[in-house]
Amino acid sequence: MNSPDSQDSPDGPMEHQFVNVTENPSLDKDKRRIHVRRTVMAQYHKQRKRQKQKAEKEAEKPKEESLTPSTSVSSPTWIRRPTHLLCAKPWANEHQARASDAVINYLCGQAIHGITDLSGVLFVHSSWKNGLEVTGTGAHPLLSFQQILGYYGDKDFMHIDQTPLWDAVHMEQETIYTQCEDWEPFRLLGAAQAITLYLLLRVRTGANHPVFPDGDIALLFTLSKVFKSLQDGHMRGPTLGTILPQNDEWEQWIFRESVMRTAMIYFLLDLTVNVDFGLTYDRPTDWHLHDMPLPCTKDLWLAEDMLAWKEKCPREGYIWSHSLTFGHMYSHSDIHKRRLQTWQESSDELGLVVTLASQLDSPTRQK
């Protein structure tokens, strides 16, 4: 780990919050995580105490920009406003800087495409409307996304900073945050996809709108809550292997692949923009980028029915027990290299973006 005053690596992002914990970061990563978490939380509690003392002394309300939205995600605590949240990370290497910009621009473009055609979004399957009749009360989150952006956005969707638009996004975010725990799986998936699209819009605008002053934190908190519900209740434990055809499992495969693709979008954002707002933790079952399965092939993703899907599936069996993951992109194994070549030859646009993003990461970042 570098010290706070160390210079940036020529091959990596110029981060400024590193802590020198040990002389062997690779072997002592758990100690480093514990130290960083304790340091962050200690500073966090000190800031809360100072805020409280100042408020009691001066009889003034805390400044609005220092708090999370009171009606959405801030019930337990107050969180200090982080700087540069959802802003692009700077890179010392020019090649990586261009690759990072390309990844960000392409992902943000997905939110604009989704306004008119959600089936064209890289992480929303074309069959998403099939489950609308079982989504319970209230509008489906993806339908709400289209309605909000279609009604309040301008005709070319070049100016998405309108006050009514972000006021409506704020209300939708609060609805998802407060109600998602009781939703059935496909509606919960739609919530994760919709929040991801709002996050991409927020990255595209470059700043929070005054009507939604803590939109970045609120959206990240909400996405975290939705994914916890998906992961704990509907993903069959921490295993991330890709499910292949067995009897009538096409819908289950669509669900699982869509969850994985949506999660991959978050990890790609984590590589390219700052998503750290000061409260971090690691659960044993949490997912990590290097363990994430690579997106399925284009033919599988675009299959219009179960028969077409089964015809396009690999022939080696129902369960692909050795699924390629993001971490395999750094493997020196000839077998993995050949499988990666085959995957790249048949991948869709998300696969190309993931391949490009792999230039921004390295095996040293594995967790």
The predicted structure's pLDDT at residue 117: 87
Identify whether 329 is part of a domain: yes
Q: Identify the residue whose tokens are 């080696």.
A: 316
The pLDDT value recorded for residue 252 is 87
Alpha-helical (H) ranges within the chain are 29-58, 94-116, 141-152, 163-179, 185-205, 215-234, 250-272, 298-302, 306-312, 334-346, 349-357
The residue ranges of the chain whose pLDDT is under 70 are: 1-45, 47-48, 51-52, 54-82, 131-138, 153-158, 236-248, 277-285, 314-322, 362-367
CB-based contacts of 37-43 (< 8 A; 24+ apart in sequence): 37/280, 37/281, 40/278, 40/279, 40/280, 41/279
Range of the structural domain that residue 139 is part of: 63-365
Is the CB of residue 86 less than 8 Å from the CB of residue 273? yes
Residue-level pLDDT at 131:
62
Say which amino acid occupies 325: T
Q: What are phi and psi of 113, to 5 degrees?
A: -60, -35
Phi, psi of 256 (to 5 degrees): -65, -45
Q: Is residue 155 domain-resident?
A: yes
Q: Are the C-beta atoms of residues 198 and 173 closer than 8 Å to each other?
A: yes
Q: Say if 34 falls within a structural domain.
A: no
Rounded Cα–Cα distance for residues 179 and 227 (Å):
14
Domain count, the chain: 1
**CA proximity to 292, closest of 336, 328, 320, 340:** 328
Is 106 part of a structural domain of the chain?
A: yes
Return the structure tokens found at 68: 């999370």
| Contacts by residues 253-259 (CB-CB < 8 Å, ≥ 24 positions apart) | 253/309, 254/125, 254/127, 255/185, 255/186, 255/189, 257/125, 257/295, 257/296, 257/300, 257/301, 258/123, 258/124, 258/125, 258/128, 258/189, 258/193, 259/189, 259/192, 259/230, 259/234, 259/235
What pTM does this model have?
A: 0.74
Q: Could you count the other beta carbons within 10 Å of the beta carbon of residue 146?
A: 18
